[in-house]
Amino acid sequence: MAQTVLVSGGAGFIGSHVTVELIQAGYDVIVADNMSNCDKTCLLGARKITGRKIPFFKVDFCNRNAVERLFQANKIEAVIHFAAFKAVGESVEQPVMYYRNNLDSFLNIIDVARTHGCRNILFSSSATVYGQPEELPVTEESPRQEATSPYGNTKQICEDILRDSVKAYGNVRGIALRYFNPIGAHPSALIGELPRGVPNNLVPFITQTAIGKRECLSIFGNDYPTPDGTCLRDYIDIVDLAKAHVCAVSRMMEDKMKEPYEIFNIGTGRPVSVLELVNAFQKVNGIKLNYRFAPRRPGDVTAVWADPSKANKELGWKAERPVEETLRAAWNWEKYIAKK
């Protein structure tokens, strides 16, 4: 019988791609989401791709009783926790809202999961925990810097909550995956990034500018100490990122963890500048983008990219999709959404 994985926040961008990869790897998946930052587009897309009627529950993970009911009604062997607010700028303006939502939801997951015998918890963390690193690329041993936003701080605190819970309760194991910059869409163009309002991330802003939804793309800062003056990032294809979760879940389920709490960087190890990404999008899709340089944005670090060798070795996972394919998929998704 297939093992069941709960994907909290599974109707969103990353959660829907992870759901697809889990099902294709043979797991049963339950998606739960409060739908505060998405609609059902990606959930329906995931059902279409997999040909499965994926069970969906509308749950606010800050409501402990609702989480309790979810675990009572289903036999869950592992949880992947995505449900969180994620806009850096908004977190600076609304810190209490971010701390309450992102911490309460995770505390409830851990508490309820362990009391229901679900010991495998995978946390969706972020490279923001490294801040502006002193040395590049960053490894899992690189020091965490003081967070530049409440959002980034919630990622650090949740990592600590998971680490301390694993230490205190003998029946919990945890993995934190630190993502770098997930971009793109599923090759089917049935699921992808669907921000509400003005996108906070670069690629949806590129695709929305390309399709005419946005007048102009702003590139924040062209005076950074980098080869072309724009920030350097580690852009990882969303399908590659999703596959890392399957590797991490099977590592937990098959008792292959070397420590009860583990951390992995999920990135390509290749720095790409913002301007390089914009130019690659134009070239791959044959589109001329209207863009301009704008002043630096507060909170943006100059450069960060991963050393993914630990994940490559321990998880048996590697980023494989070329950035051109990723940007083609992102554009196909934007065109698909425009037709809906």
Q: Is 151 a catalytic residue?
A: yes
What letter represents residue 29's amino acid?
Answer: V
Q: What is the pLDDT of residues 19-54, one digit of tens each?
A: 999 999 999 999 999 999 999 999 999 999 999 999
- Per-residue b or e along 73-96, where b marks 16 or more CB atoms closer than 10 Å to that residue's CB: ebebbbbbbbbbbbbbebbeeeee
What letter represents residue 253's amino acid?
Answer: M
**How confident is the model at residue 335, as a pLDDT?**
97
**How confident is the model at residue 197, as a pLDDT?**
86
Which residue in 33, 44, 338, 340 sits closest to 191, CA to CA?
44
**How confident is the model at residue 56, as a pLDDT?**
98
Number of H helices, E strands in the chain: 11, 13
Q: In the structure, what pLDDT confidence band is assigned to residue 131 with cuts at 50, 70 and 90?
A: confident
Please tell me whether residue 185 adopts helix, strand or coil conformation. strand
Count the Cβ atoms, other than its own, within 10 Å of residue 223.
10
Exactly one of 151, 179, 224, 235 is catalytic; name it: 151
**How confident is the model at residue 71, as a pLDDT?**
98
Q: In the structure, what pLDDT confidence band is assigned to residue 269 with cuts at 50, 70 and 90?
A: very high
d(CA 165, CA 182): 28
The mean pLDDT value for 61-67 works out to 98
Does this model's pTM top 0.75? Answer: yes
pLDDT at 157 over 80: yes
- Residue 165 phi/psi, 5-degree rounding, is -70, -40
Tell me if 288 sits within 8 A of 282, measured CB to CB.
Answer: yes
The mean pLDDT value for 150-170 works out to 96
d(CA 282, CA 12): 27
The mean pLDDT value for 104-126 works out to 97
- Residue 179 phi/psi, 5-degree rounding, is -80, 150
- List the domains of the chain with CATH numbers: 4-184+236-268 (3.40.50.720), 202-232+269-310+321-335 (3.90.25.10)
Q: What is the pLDDT of residues 132-154, one digit of tens each?
A: 899 999 999 999 998 888 999 99
> Which token pair is 91?
């977190």
Rg (C-alpha) for the chain, rounded Å, is 19
Using left for φ > 0, alpha for ψ between -120 and 50, and beta otherwise, residue 303 falls in beta
For residue 137, cis peptide bond before it (omega within 30 degrees of 0):
yes
d(CA 146, CA 139): 17
pLDDT at 320 over 90: yes
Helix (H) / strand (E) containing 8: strand 4-8
Q: What is the pLDDT of residues 177-208, one digit of tens each?
A: 999 999 999 999 999 999 888 898 999 999 99
The percentage of residues in the chain with a pLDDT greater than 70, rounded to a whole number, is: 100
Average pLDDT over the chain, rounded to an integer: 96
Tell me if 215 sits within 8 A of 209, measured CB to CB.
Answer: yes
Q: What is the pLDDT of residues 206-262, one digit of tens each?
A: 999 999 999 999 999 999 999 999 999 999 999 999 999 999 999 999 999 999 999
Tell me if 237 sits within 8 A of 326, measured CB to CB.
Answer: yes
Q: In the structure, what pLDDT confidence band is assigned to residue 74 with cuts at 50, 70 and 90?
A: very high
**How confident is the model at residue 200, as a pLDDT?**
84
Q: In the structure, what pLDDT confidence band is assigned to residue 299 with cuts at 50, 70 and 90?
A: confident
